[in-house]
A and B are shown apart, each in its own frame.
Chain A
């Protein structure tokens, strides 16, 4: 089944403890992206990647890191999480020439930073 898989689904952590949220897609998509969703603010893009080894900042990249070593994986890294990073996170992917036409989303990761 074609899908974008995020793990974990729920995560509770404490301030300053490094964490990684994984994202994997099995559709051979070039484009991958991370969004965070907060009440009243919609989805805001954190980082995106047009292809392997190519990443770029979105609207809210501060406090986050990403890597794209393989086409299928695009992990989101929080080196020192803070409470203001408590949010619902989504990974999305798309064919490289269609990233502006249709995104495929993962099921989300609900992160709470205490």
Chain B
């Protein structure tokens, strides 16, 4: 069953702008991860945030986690055309030996 739901489903911005996408989940988590998928290719791990963390940075990526609202956001600053991809959140609950993925946000960065 789907745990994470990304919002918006699709996002189109100009190069240089910031992109924000959100993920909501249903049950308590141990950690939440973000992955990127270039068109039809395999997913690539971007960043992980643990349930006891509120914010994490990696290069141009900033992830926040609000466990009280069961939501996370991924901010990509100063976007580039190469950031065009689908972005998925994935949660690990501990009760199941798997990550559960959302349906993704399709980001298009226009040059």
Instruction: Kindly provide the distance from the CB of A7 to the nearest chain B CB, expressed in whole angstroms.
Output: 13
Q: When the two chains form their complex, are residues B33 and A42 in contact, meaning their CB atoms are under 8 A apart?
A: no
Q: When the two chains form their complex, are residues B44 and A105 in contact, meaning their CB atoms are under 8 A apart?
A: yes
Q: When the two chains form their complex, are residues A101 and B33 in contact, meaning their CB atoms are under 8 A apart?
A: yes
Q: Looking across the interface, which residue of chain B has its beta carbon closest to that of A106?
A: B42
Residues of B within 8 A of A (CB): 1-2, 4, 30-31, 33, 35, 40-45, 48, 88, 92, 94, 97-104
Q: Which residues of chain A (15-68) have a CB below 8 Å from chain B?
A: 33, 35, 40-45, 48, 50, 56, 58-59
The residue among B31, B43, B100 with the most chain A CB atoms within 10 A of its own CB is B43
Please give, as numbers and ranges, the residues of chain A lying within 8 Å of B4 by CB-CB distance: 42
Q: When the two chains form their complex, are residues A108 and B48 in contact, meaning their CB atoms are under 8 A apart?
A: no
Residue pairs across A and B with CB atoms within 8 Å: the count is 60
Q: When the two chains form their complex, are residues A42 and B102 in contact, meaning their CB atoms are under 8 A apart?
A: yes
Contact status of A105 and B42, CB under 8 A, knowing A100-B30, A100-B99: yes
CA distance A104 to B92 in the complex (A): 16
Overall SS of chain B's interface? loop
Please give, as numbers and ranges, the residues of chain B lying within 8 Å of A45 by CB-CB distance: 98-100
Tell me, yes or no, whether A107 is within 8 Å of chain B by CB. Answer: yes
Q: Looking across the interface, which residue of chain A has its beta carbon closest to that of B41?
A: A107
As a 0/1 sequence over residues 85 to 114 of chain A, the CB contacts with chain B under 8 angstroms (1 = contact) are 000101010000001111111111010000
Q: When the two chains form their complex, are residues A50 and B48 in contact, meaning their CB atoms are under 8 A apart?
A: no
Please give, as numbers and ranges, the residues of chain B lying within 8 Å of A43 by CB-CB distance: 43, 88, 101
Please give, as numbers and ranges, the residues of chain A lying within 8 Å of B88 by CB-CB distance: 42-43
Instruction: Kindly provide the distance from the CB of A9 to the nearest chain B CB, expressed in whole angstroms.
Output: 10
CA distance A1 to B101 in the complex (A): 27
Query: Which of B48, B97, B101, B102 contacts A101, CB < 8 Å?
Result: B48
Please give, as numbers and ranges, the residues of chain B lying within 8 Å of A105 by CB-CB distance: 42-44
Please give, as numbers and ranges, the residues of chain A lying within 8 Å of B94 by CB-CB distance: 100
Q: When the two chains form their complex, are residues B103 and A40 in contact, meaning their CB atoms are under 8 A apart?
A: yes
* 22 A-B contact pairs sorted by A residue (CB < 8 Å): A4-B42, A41-B103, A42-B2, A42-B4, A42-B101, A42-B104, A43-B88, A48-B97, A59-B1, A90-B42, A92-B43, A99-B97, A100-B31, A100-B97, A101-B33, A101-B48, A102-B33, A102-B45, A103-B43, A103-B45, A105-B44, A108-B41
